[in-house]
Amino acid sequence: MSTEINEDRIAEAAKQFAEGFATMRELKGITKAEMEAVYSVGFNMYRTGRYDDAEKIFRFLVLFDHLEPKYWMGVGAVQQVRKDYQGAIASYGYASFLDLSNPKPQLHAAECFLALGDKVNAASALIALDKYCPPESTEIGRDYRAKAAELRKSIGDEAFAEASKPDPETAE
C-alpha cells in the first residue's frame, strides 16, 4: 500500500468539499449502493433494539453523506427512542430541510416537542407538514397526514393559534 501523498488530488477534493459539491462518500469513492447496504444493517439493528450499534451506523452514514435525509432520520429515530428529544428534533430538522415534501421528519419532530411539553412548537411542526406535504402526495404521505391529524387533536387549538402568530422579530 502506497503512502505517497497526491497533492493535486487533495487540493481538488478540498476545493470540491469547500464548494459544497462533494460529500465524504464521494471523496472516498464509496458508492450509493455500498451506503445503502450499510443503511440496511443499521435499520435492522434499529428494528431489533440494538440502538447503540444502529446509532454508530447512522452517524457513520451522515458523516459520509450529510445530504441524504434518510440517514438523518435514522439518527433522529435512535435519539427519539432514547428520549433525547432535543437531539432528535435537530436531526429531524436537518432531514426536513433536505426534503421538505417528506412528512416524516415534521411528524416525528412534533412528537418530540409534545414529549417535551412544548405544544406550540409541536403545532408549528404540524403546520409545516401541512404546508410542505401536499394532501395528494404518496400513500405514505397520506398516512403521515392522518397521524398528524390525530396528533393535532391532542395538541389543541390554542397551541395552533399561538404557533400561527407572526414572529415579532420578522414581522414588519
More confidently predicted of 87 and 159: 87
pLDDT value, residue 144: 81
Fold of the 19-163 domain: 1.25.40
Domain ranges (residues) in the chain: 19-163
pLDDT exceeds cutoff 50 at 1: no
Give the pTM.
0.80
Q: Which three cell numbers stand for residue 35?
A: 451506503
pLDDT exceeds cutoff 90 at 7: no
Q: Give the whole-angstrom CA distance, residue 129 versus residue 96.
A: 10
Residue the block writes with cell 435514522: 74
| Neighbouring residues of 106: CB distance < 8 A, sequence distance ≥ 6 | 92, 96, 125, 126, 128, 129, 132, 133, 148
> Most distant CA pair in the chain: distance in Å?
65
The pLDDT tens digits for 36-53 are 999 999 999 999 999 999
The pLDDT tens digits for 65-120 are 888 999 999 999 999 999 999 999 999 999 999 998 888 999 999 999 999 999 99
